[in-house]
């Protein structure tokens, strides 16, 4: 690696597996100190061991993003320790209890998709914009999906929540674009071998799909201080 993120402080949600794990490892390899947030402490500890063994730095935050008020506490702790945040990656996602017709969704599953994919990211924006403004080059990126605009049958909760995420992030980008140095974007990773993909297509051979490590380049590019892209949806492959 070339140290493209040397000295940067980055927060990655959903860091215990899949794309989030791959991004956290790549950021650390590029020189960032990575704050890894996810619900599963054991998986976070394994990730930390791998990052440390490779010479990187990781801070673990075992937390459920749906405990919304804790996001404010995490932001306060990061401010006390670092005084800023350089990079925010909103990667954690929820399919909504599985696929099915809109009229058949259990309300709790539909709500869960919006809680993770929309409300948690709104709380991240609310809590971390002040810290990103403290950076010399604050960068934020959120993971979306082609499902947001495809209107695919049985993907209603996930698709609707990702569509809401896209509008929310683009709106935030439009609000701060001319008055701050922040660069804010969305990333569509495409079809990637993740647990969510396995949930949706259990018979699919994951070995035939793009692996999480193969989509990290765009995350690094958007996290760099020199990034000029803003308010876009950018494909990872």
- What domains can be seen in the chain, in order of their start residue? 9-235 (3.40.50.720)
Q: What is the 3-state secondary structure (H, E, C) of 155-171?
A: EHHHHHHHHHHHHHHHH
Q: What's the pLDDT score for residue 193?
A: 84
Give the confidence band of 221 by pLDDT, cuts at 50, 70, 90: very high
The backbone torsions φ and ψ at residue 165, rounded to the nearest 5 degrees and listed phi first, read -60, -45
At residue 183, does pLDDT exceed 70?
yes
CA angle 100, 104, 108 (to 5 degrees): 95
At residue 6, does pLDDT exceed 90?
yes
Stretch 108-121: mean pLDDT: 97
Q: What's the pLDDT score for residue 59?
A: 98
Question: What is the spatial distance between Cα 218 and Cα 48, in angstroms, rounded to a whole number?
Answer: 22
Stretch 184-195: mean pLDDT: 93
Q: Which residues are CB-neighbours of 198 under 8 A, at least 6 positions away?
A: 204, 206
Cβ count near 207 (within 10 Å): 7
Greater confidence (186 vs 204) lies with 186
Greater confidence (198 vs 160) lies with 160
158 flagged as catalytic: yes
Percent of the chain topping pLDDT 70: 100
Contact 210, 224 (CB under 8 A): no
Q: What's the pLDDT score for residue 148?
A: 95
Catalytic residue among 105, 122, 154, 158: 158
Contact 206, 222 (CB under 8 A): no
Q: What is the pLDDT of residues 123-165, one digit of tens each?
A: 999 999 999 999 999 999 999 999 999 988 999 999 999 999 9
**Long-range CB contacts (< 8 A, 24+ apart) of 143-148?**
143/19, 143/89, 143/90, 143/91, 143/93, 143/186, 143/187, 143/188, 143/189, 144/186, 144/187, 144/188, 144/233, 145/188, 145/189, 146/188, 146/190
At residue 1, does pLDDT exceed 80?
no
Cβ count near 48 (within 10 Å): 20
Stretch 84-94: mean pLDDT: 97
Contact 87, 27 (CB under 8 A): yes
Give the confidence band of 45 by pLDDT, cuts at 50, 70, 90: very high
* pTM for the full predicted model: 0.96
**pLDDT averaged over every residue in the chain:** 95
Question: What is the spatial distance between Cα 33 and Cα 44, in angstroms, rounded to a whole number?
Answer: 15
Three-class SS state of 191: coil
Strands 87-90 and 57-62: unpaired
Q: Which residues are CB-neighbours of 203 under 8 A, at least 6 positions away?
A: none
């Amino acid at each position: 690696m070339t140290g493209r993120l040397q000295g940067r402080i980055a927060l990655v949600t959903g860091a215990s597996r899949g794309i989030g794990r791959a991004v956290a490892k790549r950021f650390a390899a590029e020189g960032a100190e990575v704050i890894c947030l996810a619900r599963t402490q054991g998986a976070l500890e394994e990730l930390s061991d791998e990052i440390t063994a490779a010479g990187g730095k990781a801070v673990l935050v075992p937390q459920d993003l749906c405990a919304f008020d804790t996001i404010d506490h995490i932001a306060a702790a990061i401010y006390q320790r670092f005084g800023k945040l350089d990079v925010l990656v909103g990667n954690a996602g929820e399919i909504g209890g599985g696929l099915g017709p809109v009229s058949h969704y259990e309300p709790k599953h539909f709500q869960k998709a919006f809680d993770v994919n929309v409300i948690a990211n709104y709380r991240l924006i609310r809590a971390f914009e002040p810290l990103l403004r403290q950076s010399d080059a604050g960068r934020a990126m959120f993971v979306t999906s082609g499902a947001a605009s495809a209107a695919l049958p049985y993907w209603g909760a996930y698709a609707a929540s990702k569509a809401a995420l896209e509008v929310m992030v683009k709106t935030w980008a439009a609000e701060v674009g001319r008055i701050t140095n922040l660069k804010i974007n969305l990333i569509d990773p495409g079809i990637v071998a993740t647990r969510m993909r396995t949930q949706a297509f259990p018979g699919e051979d994951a070995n035939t799909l793009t692996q999480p490590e193969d989509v990290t380049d765009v995350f690094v590019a958007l996290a760099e201080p020199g990034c000029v892209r803003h308010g876009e949806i950018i494909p990872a492959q």
